Amino acid sequence: MIGVKIKESGENVIISWQLSRVKIPKNEIIEVRNDDTYGGEDKSAMRIGFPSASLERFVIKTTKQNYILFTSNISIKNKIERMIE
């Protein structure tokens, strides 16, 4: 498993990368947006993926923790947005 993977499990969005697995309740997700900065503006955000080998950066803002996803898969953002509709 090289890249960041996203899947839906009941009321949660599951993000997997290498040996890490993060479960985010859908009702805690406030927004999903592009991030044009290299390392992300939020210094306390959890970073998932390889920053240097990625073309896209997405921020998932939640009520408890923010996440920055580094990926080359542009469809991940759309997939997450469809899950939380």
Q: What is the mean pLDDT of each run of 10 residues along the chain (85 residues)?
A: 87 95 97 86 89 86 95 90 92
pLDDT the model gives residue 85: 87
CB atoms within 10 A of CB 40: 20
Task: Please report the pLDDT score of residue 55 as a whole number.
Answer: 82
Give the residue extent of every domain in the chain: 5-83
Cβ–Cβ < 8 Å for 64, 23 = no
Say what the pLDDT of residue 51 is: 83
* Topology (CATH) of 5-83: PH-domain like (2.30.29)
